[in-house]
Structure 1
Amino acid sequence: MKRIFDGMTSFSTERPKTTIAIILVFFFSLAPNAMFINFDNSEDAFFPDNETVRLLNEVEDEYQASIDFIRFIDDIDSGDLYEESTWQQLAMLEAILLENQDLQEYQYPLFGIQPNSGMASAAIQWHNLQDPLTADSWISDLQLAIDAVASSDNDSLASNLANLTEAGNNLPSPELVSASDLRNWQPEDPNLWLERIDNGANLTSDLSVLSAALTNLIQGPNSSEIAMATGPISGKIGMLMGMQSIDYRSMMISNLPAEDSTNPWDSDGPVLTTFVVVTEPGEHGVEVIGDVQEKVSEWADELASQAKSETGDSEITVFSFSQLATGQNANLG
């Protein structure tokens, strides 16, 4: 190879005009093929090829909606998810997102019927709707009320049915987790309830027993009167039965790195807490997407400042695709 390059060097110095002519002929021969070279300078080409970007593109293609993910990124150490303080901070971050009026105005319900996804809200929903320990008190009260109606005579039936109705009112109802719920949540000892989640604990068997007991009440005397009290309760129990199939554990783990899915509670993060907003220019009263991205980037900066102030954790960052598009990603860490 050295002899070849030495020969080319000698040729170019001895015959410069011929060398220049050869170079020009070479470039002119390539020129006709330049039209077949495709340069992708679109906004989509700027983003990385990962699961979140593919989801964003899928939503845009399927629903013709432009959206952005505003995410708190909370770095943790392995073992932190066994600490109550970690869950309190995650709940606070999610509450900050839900309380923000700008985000609320342009929310996009990507996650079922809600625009937010976080470990704290998923844990609260599991506690409210599936945790046997949390449900123990209202299940016991309802069973006692059912037993009292079953053993009633004509004199005590009315009062026992009133007690049954009151006990039925204490059954939890499926509802969105609010910012207030998040801020008031007391996670207690995560070591205990994370173990119950891992074991697949839920209320299926208890609800089946209660449902059968309510059905038995309307098989005997005074069935019409009793059915008026048991009907609404049976409806609530049926709804709760359906909620037992929801995999809140997977919802929680989805906010952790995929590589930690086998041992999620030992994860060293980062933990994501997400809120989805619409970025369609028309929805924001502007003509170009760039104006919306500037606005979303400002929201992200404000959220980062608020989170650091409220939690005292200076390492919390905020990510949005708008920040990438506007080049304002200096605080992404």
Structure 2
Amino acid sequence: MKNPFDTLSEMSVDKPKTVIAVVVIGILALSSFAQYIVFDNSEDAFYPDNETTNLLYELENTYTVDVDLVRSIVRFEVGDLENEATWNLLANIESDMLTHTGDLENSKMIDYHYGLFGGSPNSGPASSVIFWQQIQDPISDTWSEAVETALMNVTMAEDVNLSSAISEAMIVMSTMPSTEYPDSDDLDNWNVGIPGEWQTRIDSGENNAEKIGILIGMVSSLTENRNETQNASIAPLQGQAMASLAPLSALQDIDLRSGMMGMFPAESRDNPWSEANIALVTLAIDTTPSVHNMELDTEVSPIISEMSVGLEESLQETHGNTITVFGFNRFAEEQSGNLGAEIGILTSASIVILGIILWRQFRSVRDTSIVIFLTLLAIGATYGVAGILKLEFNGAMNSIPILLLAIGVDYGLHVVLRYREELANLVSEGKETMADFSAEARAKAIKTGTMLTSAALVVAIFTDMVGFLSFRLSAQNFLVVFGTVIAVGLFFIYLLSITALPALLTILKPQKIAIVKSVKIEESKFSIWSGEQALNPMTIIIAALLISLPIGAGISQLEIGFDFRDQLDEEIPVVADFLVLSDDFAGQNTAPLYVVINTEVFSDTGRASYLEVMSVLDADTSISEQTGVWELLEL
């Protein structure tokens, strides 16, 4: 049966210019689609395609918001948190983050703040202390006594002066602290005082629960022993007072210190004021594509990354180089950029090495360049097809161009050497170099050599493609992508080896390379020795078994596992920051555990199921904190 690709090989020799034009135009057109390849260096790029992963994605898409937590990592000396200057620095940094415009061509960072922290986009040690002082700190309470006096005056007031007492009480109510989280003005105007004094009170867990409870009781009793007319006058005061006191009362039950401790390294949280040397200041940025007038998340990521870089430059210019800014969008962009640079470096190195090997065989820079150039074109076409299919690349894909280069060089080597062998077989008197042969003789040698090589390669190429395409049966998406891309690349390499390569050999002027040096047909010492050993099958079998024993022992000791850290380049500053968050701030980069309860949530049955699940989680010592809808409702 005739090889169906022989027709293409014949056409390449008969009409080389046409074939080259079609190949170049087609490859360039395909390669242009490589821009649509998605680079994903996140951990979930290696997740299997199964029900658990699908459930995870469903939960993330349903219950999570598109937000990037841009964190300023502030470094200082151990014990500096006991100094006023450090707290002023933390307050200034947080204020600067809130007011930083981050002017880009079409957007400003300040326009994309997301109220993630109780309606505010910011969270930091300074704002947390300010919030604690205005809500829970007994020493900072400058209002409860005046409110208590005003309420007592209303209670004691007679009908004649009741209206006046109510008016005065309503004015006093406006002095109660707001439950709004501190903004940039609060941070700029904060009087730090003596840190050691209020740090002691934070650690002791003191709050204003008792005072506020008394005030709520007084408000509730304002209408006792009053007539309907008086109660109607008192009702607005009660409403205003309870609207302010009820949230304050609820906030007394919240452990604000625990939330603050998450901003310091895990090892220092028992005594952060004297042991911590790093603090986190966080700003939530909305990454919803529609908010940025974009369609895809991948279009938003570089925008947020650029904003993060601009924020870091601004903070370092104002407060020094000890501050770095981390964001997951920046992490993804810079890690992806490093991946692209790494592919370029590795590919360049392999081109040099393979080029040397080819030159030793060809003794021709031109033929070496042709084979490598065509292989690179095949790789470009492969990446173009990957872009059309919108395949996701990750760190494991670094090996693809190198592997394809090695295979492409191998195929090109066979075609060129076979052509030279055919030419050598035509040696006649006076023909000492390749340039001495007529165009017809060279065309015949190219055609014959290409078709004979193609007959052998077509079997190898399709068995290899079937092998790599079998990866598509894997549940691991990165294996599916890897196998698909390699299979496509193998096909393009084979196609160019039997079309573009013979076309170029036909159209280019032959070089004056001696026939005896153009190809080595004689047997080497190793080939002679290995051929002799084939006559002693028992020796071969015993040698194979002896070699297999240490290999088998090594395989049995392999550890199967995956560590996302192995995919990261720690020399990239943003990656180093990621590792700081992972190592020093326990839980900062740890994904939450979701428990899905399939029941009617807001019902007695739903609440009972919820409490049962939470009791199981509470019993697990590896789970540090649980939260759910019922805790929020009770709050």
Tell me the TM-score normalized by structure 2. 0.41
Q: Distance in 2 between matches of 1:70 and 1:316?
A: 13
For the structure 1 residues 57 and 128, does the alpha-carbon distance in structure 2 shift closer, same or farther, using more than 3 Å as the test? farther
- Could you tell me how far 1:280 is from its partner in structure 2? 4.5
| Equivalent in the alignment of 2:43 | 45
Q: Distance in 1 between matches of 2:57 and 2:315?
A: 29
For the structure 1 residues 292 and 267, does the alpha-carbon distance in structure 2 shift closer, same or farther, using more than 3 Å as the test? farther
| Equivalent in the alignment of 2:136 | 130
Alignment of 1:153-168 (within 5 A): 153-168=158-173
Q: Distance in 1 between matches of 2:196 and 2:293?
A: 48
| Equivalent in the alignment of 2:201 | 196
| Equivalent in the alignment of 2:240 | 232
Aligned partners of 1:152 and 1:160 also within 8 Å: yes
Aligned partners of 1:297 and 1:322 also within 8 Å: yes
Q: Distance in 2 between matches of 1:93 and 1:187?
A: 15
After superposition, the C-alpha distances for 1:151-186 in whole angstroms (9 at most, x for unaligned) are: 333443332222211111211231132111111111
Alignment of 1:49-64 (within 5 A): 60-63=60-63
Alignment of 1:67-216 (within 5 A): 67-101=67-101, 102-135=108-141, 137-216=142-221
- Could you tell me how far 1:256 is from its partner in structure 2? 0.9
Aligned partners of 1:81 and 1:266 also within 8 Å: yes
Aligned partners of 1:75 and 1:268 also within 8 Å: no
Q: Distance in 2 between matches of 1:162 and 1:97?
A: 41
- Secondary structure at the aligned position of 2:277 is classed as coil
- Secondary structure at the aligned position of 2:76 is classed as coil
Q: Distance in 1 between matches of 2:64 and 2:208?
A: 40
Question: How much identity, in percent, do the aligned residues show?
Answer: 31
Which of 232, 238, 257 is 1:249 aligned to? 257
Residue 300 of structure 1 aligns to which amino acid in structure 2? S
Aligned partners of 2:123 and 2:283 also within 8 Å: yes
Q: Which runs of 5+ in 1 are unaligned?
A: 1-40, 48-55
Which of 273, 280, 286 is 2:281 aligned to? 273
After superposition, the C-alpha distances for 1:41-94 in whole angstroms (9 at most, x for unaligned) are: 7321399xxxxxxxx989844446544221111012222112122111111111
- Secondary structure at the aligned position of 2:205 is classed as coil
Q: Distance in 1 between matches of 2:79 and 2:58?
A: 35
For the structure 1 residues 110 and 76, does the alpha-carbon distance in structure 2 shift closer, same or farther, using more than 3 Å as the test? same
Q: Distance in 1 between matches of 2:296 and 2:275?
A: 40
Q: Which runs of 5+ in 2 are unaligned?
A: 1-38, 46-55, 102-107, 338-571, 578-635
For the structure 1 residues 62 and 80, does the alpha-carbon distance in structure 2 shift closer, same or farther, using more than 3 Å as the test? farther
Residue 310 of structure 1 aligns to which amino acid in structure 2? T
Q: Which has the larger radius of gyration?
A: 2
Aligned partners of 1:59 and 1:65 also within 8 Å: no
* Number of residue pairs aligned between Structure 1 and Structure 2: 284
Q: Distance in 1 between matches of 2:91 and 2:216?
A: 34
Aligned partners of 1:118 and 1:272 also within 8 Å: yes
Aligned partners of 1:281 and 1:292 also within 8 Å: yes
| Equivalent in the alignment of 2:325 | 318
- Secondary structure at the aligned position of 2:140 is classed as helix
| Equivalent in the alignment of 2:568 | none
Q: Distance in 2 between matches of 1:261 and 1:104?
A: 32
Aligned partners of 1:60 and 1:67 also within 8 Å: no
For the structure 1 residues 291 and 226, does the alpha-carbon distance in structure 2 shift closer, same or farther, using more than 3 Å as the test? closer
Residue 218 of structure 1 aligns to which amino acid in structure 2? T
Q: Distance in 2 between matches of 1:325 and 1:154?
A: 69
Q: Distance in 2 between matches of 1:269 and 1:176?
A: 25
RMSD: 2.9
Aligned partners of 2:117 and 2:123 also within 8 Å: yes
Q: Distance in 2 between matches of 1:116 and 1:57?
A: 27
Aligned partners of 1:82 and 1:190 also within 8 Å: yes
The farther-off stretch of 185-194 and 92-101 is: 92-101
Residue 278 of structure 1 aligns to which amino acid in structure 2? D
For the structure 1 residues 111 and 214, does the alpha-carbon distance in structure 2 shift closer, same or farther, using more than 3 Å as the test? closer
Residue 292 of structure 1 aligns to which amino acid in structure 2? V
For the structure 1 residues 142 and 262, does the alpha-carbon distance in structure 2 shift closer, same or farther, using more than 3 Å as the test? same
- Secondary structure at the aligned position of 2:133 is classed as helix
Q: Distance in 1 between matches of 2:167 and 2:116?
A: 41
Aligned partners of 1:260 and 1:267 also within 8 Å: yes
Aligned partners of 2:40 and 2:332 also within 8 Å: no
Q: Which has the higher contact order (CA 8 A, sep 6+)?
A: 1
- Secondary structure at the aligned position of 2:143 is classed as helix
Aligned partners of 1:211 and 1:234 also within 8 Å: yes
